[in-house]
Amino acid sequence: MFSMRIIILIAVFLPFVGCAPKAAKNTEKLSEILTHKRWKYDGETMQEILAINNQDGKIEQRMKRNISQMEGGHFIFNPDGRLQILLPKINIRGDWSIDADGSHLNLKVDGSINVKHPIIEYNDQMIKLDIDSKGTSFPRVFVPAEI
């Protein structure tokens, strides 16, 4: 009877043990991708994501205004969690992090709230983020910036 309980416990909890290292590996991979390049917006792809997932014109207005403001600028994701947004006339600072389970990229520009963007997909040439659950921001798509 004792050994049957152990077998059941192992069967129930073993899948959870395997999830933690995979999530940590995904988080590390995205962190490495983010910190090894400078990034800029891909406005066209951002518009495509918004068209699929949102019907709110206010979010579209905010996004278009932000894309316009970021023209000629780029993002630097520093390994220490600091975010630099370098624009032609001003530099903005903030913070970034990835949730422990690798599901969200958190962006906080100084003076604003932390926005948890669901990660749609990423590779070394593109990072796609969806609208945050509260609808306070807009989708973001980062591509490498040519400097």
Chain segment 15-42, per-residue pLDDT in tens? 444 444 455 567 789 999 999 999 999 9
Number of Cβ within 10 Å of residue 139's Cβ equals: 24
Chain segment 98-111, per-residue pLDDT in tens? 999 999 999 999 87
CA dist 147 and 140 (Å) reads: 20
Q: How many domains does the chain have?
A: 1
Mean pLDDT of the chain: 83
38 CB-side CA count, 13 A: 11
Query: Is 80 exceeded by the pLDDT of residue 64?
Result: yes
Nearest to 119 by CA among 18, 61, 34: 34
Chain segment 76-99, per-residue pLDDT in tens? 999 999 999 999 888 999 999 999
Q: What is the CATH number of the domain that holds 45?
A: 2.40.128
Query: What does pTM read for this prediction?
Result: 0.79
Q: Which residue has the tokens 């630097």?
A: 76
Angle between helices 57-69 and 43-53 (to 10 degrees): 170
pLDDT of residue 62: 86
Contact predicate 115/132, CB 8 Å: yes
Contact predicate 131/59, CB 8 Å: yes
| For the chain, percent of residues with pLDDT exceeding 90 | 50
Chain segment 9-22, per-residue pLDDT in tens? 344 443 444 444 45
Q: What Cα–Cα distance (Å) separates residue 141 from each residue in 44, 59, 87, 124?
A: 9, 15, 17, 12
Report CA 45 to chain centroid distance, whole Å: 15
Phi, psi of 69 (to 5 degrees): -65, -30
Q: Which residue has the tokens 């973001």?
A: 140
Contact predicate 89/72, CB 8 Å: no
Number of Cβ within 10 Å of residue 132's Cβ equals: 20
| Domain span including residue 44 | 2-144
